[in-house]
């Protein structure tokens, strides 16, 4: 009885909102700094805090991205005041920059025509040891690299040679025309140089130059064509960033300037001597851990409707989610959600998990994440299909046109879900992933609806159940035009309400 009371209450109150009112739509997280911060520059699509392009928008000068403008060209992002171009920033502690190739060239006579040395100095940033390799290309070549690891000096090099172009193997950088060495952990302030052993005597026809560079391994695949005189002047290099100057996590936590904000954790990305730390949102949260209150709970249930499988109900909570097998497991409404403006909207994602009950069993419709307000004289919307599998209006699916009747269809699914105590997509002994709607319609056609009702619903009055069942069938009509309006649905349900009022 109690269940039935809840059920009818729930339906009535939902439908009473036929012209649904809108909630305050989720507000975009504000940056830690000014909301006016420019967070992209030319091809660099995203410049997340602690990085920034203007004063007030970055954590400190180590994270300053200098967005340089020139006439008639897209702006170019550089690291600080250097001429090091930044091409990607990741929140897990990496910066992709363009670094110069060192070139050493000769003519057929063995006279030097060009030599350039290269370097990459980026203060506390270290050359990523996991992403890069020092690489040398040439058939008469020596390459060397030097830098510092903490207080130690580091230098290393390799030799590559070949007598004929046929000796080199595409895709293989193992000494014939190409050699590579690993980057040690914690390396910074590097200089590197390509040299020749014999002025490219006897090989200048197919390889006049040697090239030395530090490149992201995944971005390089040696080919014999790289031995020719045309070679790119800059290559992508990954450097590691951390928050420095406060020690590692344990020490930094005590510092006033500790960078990890609410719902985030501190971690040390490597063992390298540069020290420092990074922040990341706790499990079950996403956002920018360096911005106050930006790590927000992930609604796993909304992100992946099937996360609990077809037969279980998903329940989101702060920092995680639960899968439970008991059906209409009704969520309690949290009062962060206030109805403010009386604009009619299409909800577009009506489903049981979006219907919340407060402690007096009053129903509220939640999650307006996919909803749209509609201009008064507009009768349909053309949109990318959104919603939840199992509740979709099949007409909307085909036409991409969301009408006021699409919510009615979803509501029909909610009705039968309540009547049958089943998820909208469920499995039977013989079939997997069966749609509840088609199963219900078949049972109605075969007059077998009593067999499929939820045991608790069966305790109710048969006429009332049949009113609801017939109403559901009309809501599920494949043709939107044939479906009742939400107001009509409300009126029919109102018909079975007086009895409840006396309770
Ligand atoms: C790369 O080489 C160019 C040309 O020699 C030079 O102007 C530039 O400063 C170099 N860039 C870096 C990051 O060393
Ligand atoms: C930047 O790096 C991320 C992570 O490695 C990658 O997914 C993304 O595609 C990169 N963006 C560009 C423009 O290279
Ligand atoms: C190298 O260049 C110098 C000056 O250009 C020239 O005098 C010399 O003959 C050249 N050497 C060879 C082997 O061509
Ligand atoms: C490292 O190299 C620099 C320059 O060559 C030198 O001045 C310094 O003494 C060296 N440091 C150590 C620890 O050898
Ligand atoms: C290696 O690749 C280049 C193109 O990148 C191609 O021209 C050449 O024929 C290839 N060599 C072999 C042996 O497959
Ligand atoms: C590198 O190129 C060769 C052919 O030139 C190809 O067979 C190989 O799969 C490539 N490797 C990668 C990692 O792309
Ligand atoms: C390379 O060229 C230089 C002058 O450009 C010359 O002094 C030297 O002997 C040459 N070395 C070899 C191995 O040919
Ligand atoms: C160049 O080729 C000639 C003839 O094969 C050979 O005598 C000479 O040693 C070669 N020079 C080098 C530097 O390999
Ligand atoms: C090496 O050669 C391949 C094949 O021609 C080319 O795609 C690649 O850009 C070259 N690598 C560099 C660093 O120039
Ligand atoms: C705390 O952090 C600030 C800013 O990074 C730094 O200057 C200071 O030295 C740190 N204090 C301690 C005790 O590490
Ligand atoms: C998740 O489910 C478990 C087991 O049913 C329960 O003990 C726990 O309280 C639930 N957690 C939340 C936050 O609902």
CATH assignment at residue 433: 1.10.510.10
Residue of 322, 324, 325 with the most ligand 11 atoms within 8 Å of its CB, for mutation = 322
Q: Per the domain annotation, does 274 fall within a domain?
A: no
C-alpha 330 – ligand 11 centre gap (Å): 14
What's the total number of domains in the chain? 4
pLDDT value for 377 = 41
Higher pLDDT, 251 or 501: 251
The whole-angstrom separation of Cα 83 and Cα 66 is 10
Is there a single domain that holds both residue 342 and residue 483?
Answer: yes
According to the model, what pLDDT value does residue 149 have? 92
**For atom 5 of ligand 7, which residue has the closest CA?**
111
Angstrom distances, CA of residue 429 to CA of 252, 417, 432, 433: 57, 19, 8, 11
What is the pLDDT at residue 332? 42
Q: How far is the CA of 202 from the centre of ligand 7 (A)?
A: 13
In a domain, residue 18? The reply is: no
pLDDT of residue 357: 58
Among 69-73, 130-134, 260-264, 341-345, whose mean pLDDT is lowest?
341-345
Residue-wise pLDDT for 410-456, tens only, equals 888 888 888 888 777 776 666 666 788 888 888 888 888 888 888 87
Residue 227 shares a structural domain with residue 308 = no
pLDDT over 90 at 282, yes or no: yes
Strands (E), 52-170: 65-70, 73-79, 85-90, 94-100, 102-106, 112-115, 118-120, 126-127, 132-137, 140-149, 152-161
Say whether pLDDT at 397 is over 90.
no
| Mean pLDDT, residues 159-185 taken together | 95
Residue 339 and residue 452 in one domain: yes
Predicted local confidence at residue 371, as pLDDT:
54
In this structure, the residue with its CA closest to atom 10 of ligand 10 is 246
3-state secondary structure of 9: helix
Strands of the sheet containing 140-149, edge to edge, are 118-120, 187-196, 140-149, 152-161
Shared domain for 430 and 305, answered yes or no, is no
For the stretch 292-316, pLDDT in tens is 999 999 988 888 877 888 777 788 8
Ligand nearest to the backbone CA of 108: 3
What residues are in contact with ligand 1 under a 6 Å CB criterion?
83-84, 100
Q: Which of 222, 240, 258 is at the close of a domain? A: 240
pLDDT at 331: 44
Residue 269 lies in a domain: no
* Confidence check: pLDDT of 402 > 50: yes
Q: Whose CA is nearest to atom 9 of ligand 5?
A: 224
Q: Where are the alpha helices (DSSP H) in 273-333?
A: 300-303
Q: What would the two tokens of residue 284 be?
A: 């079950």
Note the pTM of the prediction, 2 decimals. Answer: 0.69
Rounded distance from Cα 221 to ligand 8 centre (Å): 30
Q: How far is the CA of 230 from the centre of ligand 9 (A)?
A: 9
- pLDDT the model gives residue 11: 47
Together in a domain, 378 and 448: yes
Pocket test for ligand 7, best of 199, 200, 204, 208 (most atoms within 8 A of CB): 199
Within a domain: 405: yes
Q: Which residue, chain included where needed, has tokens 């994602």?
A: 349
Mean pLDDT in the chain? 81
Q: Which residue has the tokens 């009371």?
A: 5
> pLDDT, tens digit, for every residue of 35-71?
678 899 999 999 999 999 988 889 998 999 999 998 8
Identify the residues whose C-beta falls under 6 Å from ligand 2.
88, 90
Q: Which of 289, 308, 327 is the last residue of a domain?
A: 327
Average pLDDT of the segment spanning 332-343? 42
pLDDT score recorded for residue 500: 45
Whether residue 273 is contained in a domain is answered as no
Determine the pLDDT at residue 407.
83
Phi, psi angle pair for 360, to nearest 5°: -100, 15
Pick the more confident residue, 109 or 463. 109
- How far is the C-alpha of 228 from the C-alpha of 225, rounded, in Å? 6
pLDDT, average across residues 319-326:
82
| Higher pLDDT among residues 428 and 267, named by residue | 267
Mean predicted confidence (pLDDT) in 107-113: 92
Q: Are residues 77 and 107 in the same domain?
A: no
Q: Report how far apart, in Å, the C-alpha atoms of 373 and of each of 17, 304, 342, 343, 404 are.
A: 14, 24, 10, 6, 12
> For residues 79 and 23, which has the higher predicted lDDT (pLDDT)?
79
Same domain, 77 and 122: no
What is the pLDDT at residue 442?
87
Same domain, 346 and 491: yes
The radius of gyration of the chain from alpha carbons, rounded to an integer in Å, stands at: 33
* H or E segment and range at residue 285: strand 285-286
Where does ligand 10 bind, in terms of residues with CB under 6 Å?
A: 245-247, 255, 257
**Which of 78, 116, 120 lies closest to 215, judged by CA?**
120
pLDDT in tens, 357-369: 555 555 656 555 5
pLDDT digits (tens, 9 = 90+) for 180-236: 999 999 999 999 999 999 999 999 999 999 999 999 999 999 999 999 878 889 999
79 with 162, same domain: the answer is: no
Q: Which of 50, 73, 90 is the last residue before a domain boundary?
A: 90
pLDDT tier at 475 (50, 70, 90 boundaries)? Answer: very high
Q: How confident is the model at residue 502 (pLDDT cuts 50, 70, 90)?
A: very low
d(CA 295, CA 279): 11
Q: Give the range of the structural domain holding residue 397, as residue numbers without chain letter.
A: 328-496
Short-list 502, 494, 501, 447, CA closest to 469? 447
Q: Supply 167's token pair.
A: 């000796």
**What pLDDT, on the 0 to 100 scale, is given for residue 487?**
81
Residue-wise pLDDT for 374-385, tens only, equals 444 444 444 455
Rounded CA-CA distance 63/50 in Å is 6
pLDDT at 2 over 80: no
- Which candidate, 311, 310, 355, 335, places its Cα nearest to that of 17? 355
Cα 121 to Cα 452: distance, rounded to the nearest angstrom: 72
Residues 150 and 172 placed together within one structural domain of the fold: yes
Q: What angle is formed at CA 123 by the lines to CA 121 and CA 128, rounded to 5 degrees?
A: 70
Judgement on whether residues 368 and 461 belong to the same structural domain of the protein: yes
166 and 232 part of one domain: yes
């Amino acid at each position: 009885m109690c269940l039935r009371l809840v059920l009818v209450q729930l339906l009535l109150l939902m439908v009473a909102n036929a012209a649904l009112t809108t909630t305050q739509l989720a507000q975009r997280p504000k940056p830690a700094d000014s909301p006016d911060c420019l967070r992209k520059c030319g091809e660099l699509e995203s410049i997340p805090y602690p990085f920034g392009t203007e004063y007030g928008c970055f954590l400190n000068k180590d994270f300053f991205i200098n967005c340089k403008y020139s006439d008639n060209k897209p702006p170019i992002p550089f690291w600080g005041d250097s001429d090091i171009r930044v091409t990607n920033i990741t929140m897990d502690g990496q910066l992709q920059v363009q670094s110069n190739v060192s070139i050493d060239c000769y003519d057929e006579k063995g006279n030097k025509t060009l030599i350039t040395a290269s370097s990459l100095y980026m203060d506390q940033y270290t050359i990523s040891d996991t992403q890069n390799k020092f690489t040398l290309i040439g058939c008469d070549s020596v390459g060397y690299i030097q830098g510092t690891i903490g207080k130690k000096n580091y230098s290393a090099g390799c030799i590559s040679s070949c007598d004929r172009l046929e000796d080199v193997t595409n895709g293989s950088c193992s000494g014939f025309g190409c050699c590579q060495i690993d980057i040690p952990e914690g390396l910074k302030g590097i200089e590197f140089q390509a040299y020749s052993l014999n002025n490219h005597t006897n090989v200048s026809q197919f390889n006049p130059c040697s090239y030395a560079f530090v490149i992201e391994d995944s971005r390089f695949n040696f080919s014999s064509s790289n031995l020719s005189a045309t070679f790119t002047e800059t290559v992508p290099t990954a450097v590691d960033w951390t928050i420095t100057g406060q020690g590692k996590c344990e020490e930094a936590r005590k510092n006033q300037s500790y960078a990890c904000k609410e719902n985030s954790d501190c971690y040390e990305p490597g063992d390298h001597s540069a020290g420092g730390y990074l922040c990341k949102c706790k499990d079950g949260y996403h956002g920018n851990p360096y911005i106050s209150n930006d790590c927000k709970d992930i609604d796993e249930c909304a992100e992946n409707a099937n996360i609990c499988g077809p037969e279980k109900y998903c329940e989101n909570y702060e920092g995680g989610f639960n899968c439970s097998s008991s059906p209409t497991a009704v969520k309690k409404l949290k009062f962060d959600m206030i109805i403010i403006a009386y604009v009619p909207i299409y909800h577009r994602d009506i489903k049981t998990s979006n219907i919340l009950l407060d402690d007096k069993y009053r129903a509220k419709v939640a999650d307006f994440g996919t909803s749209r307000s509609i201009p008064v004289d507009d009768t349909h919307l053309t949109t990318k299909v959104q919603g939840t599998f199992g509740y979709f209006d099949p007409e909307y699916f085909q036409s991409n046109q969301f009408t006021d009747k699409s919510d009615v269809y979803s509501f029909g699914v909610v009705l039968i879900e309540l009547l049958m105590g089943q998820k909208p997509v469920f499995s039977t002994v013989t079939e997997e992933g069966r749609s509840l709607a088609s199963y219900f319609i078949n049972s109605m056609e075969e007059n077998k609806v009593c067999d499929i009702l939820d045991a608790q619903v069966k305790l109710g009055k048969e006429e009332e159940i049949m009113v609801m069942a017939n109403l559901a069938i009309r809501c599920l009509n494949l043709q939107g035009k044939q479906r009742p309006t939400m107001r009509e649905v409300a009126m029919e349900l109102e018909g079975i309400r007086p009895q409840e009022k006396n309770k």
